[in-house]
Structure 1
């Protein structure tokens, strides 16, 4: 999957919103799938330029529960919910839903990432 800059995303979105071209023609010209392009437009309409920016963040347990609750209460699709909360990817929400279904609330708790620290072994002396 190719990463696109905010400028590339905004030009594609504005072309569509100005009515110059269709989703299909913009997607073909810019070598973008239809789904990401539609997602960019929806996020731009909901959040402005901030919706097009990539974000890497850790989400808290209460936030994850709020998002899942919203999706269940309003019957919103994964895509609609991701746009509403400005999540960077639909798969993030899909992962949360699957984790909650399989492991409950405990599965949604943030986990430490990265390698474990190397602890120095203590030498035991035998008497």
Structure 2
């Protein structure tokens, strides 16, 4: 379950976009901190309500490189790139940057998580001759 419901995110974003109150006032009103609210507003501006929906995505290496190249080509922040590419958290992109700098492109390859499957080994019958 997500920390903030879609309904709360949408209400907070719309309250801010009305232009009456500041980020900090709206954040206090909805009992959230400033940073998530700013992210929600940016995502909403780029993608509408879909930008506020929580999703778990396993990004492939080409997508990660597209995002990093976009940042490099246009000189934008990870927050801006996260909004454009609908990535839930800019910290995800910051992690990719660190992996790339420390270990190269191969570090961006997705690793399988969890236990390996418990497939039964098939026994080969000895060939009688």
**Structure 2 unaligned residues grouped into runs of 5+:** 121-129
| Deviations 1:39-97 (CA, angstroms, capped at 9, x unpaired) | 11111011000110111011111111111111111111111111111101111101111
The structural deviation recorded for 1:119 is 7.7
Quote the residue 2:113 is aligned against. 113
Quote the residue 1:56 is aligned against. 56
Quote the residue 2:91 is aligned against. 91
Quote the residue 2:65 is aligned against. 65
Aligned equivalents of 2:49, 2:119: Cα separation in 1: 45
Q: CA RMSD in A?
A: 1.6
Q: Does 1:74 align with 2:74?
A: yes
Aligned equivalents of 2:59, 2:101: Cα separation in 1: 18
Quote the residue 1:5 is aligned against. 5
Aligned equivalents of 1:71, 1:104: Cα separation in 2: 17
Aligned equivalents of 2:15, 2:30: Cα separation in 1: 11
TM-score scaled to structure 2, two decimals?
A: 0.86
Aligned equivalents of 2:17, 2:117: Cα separation in 1: 50
The structural deviation recorded for 1:118 is 5.7
Quote the residue 2:19 is aligned against. 19
Aligned equivalents of 2:18, 2:40: Cα separation in 1: 15
Quote the residue 2:101 is aligned against. 101
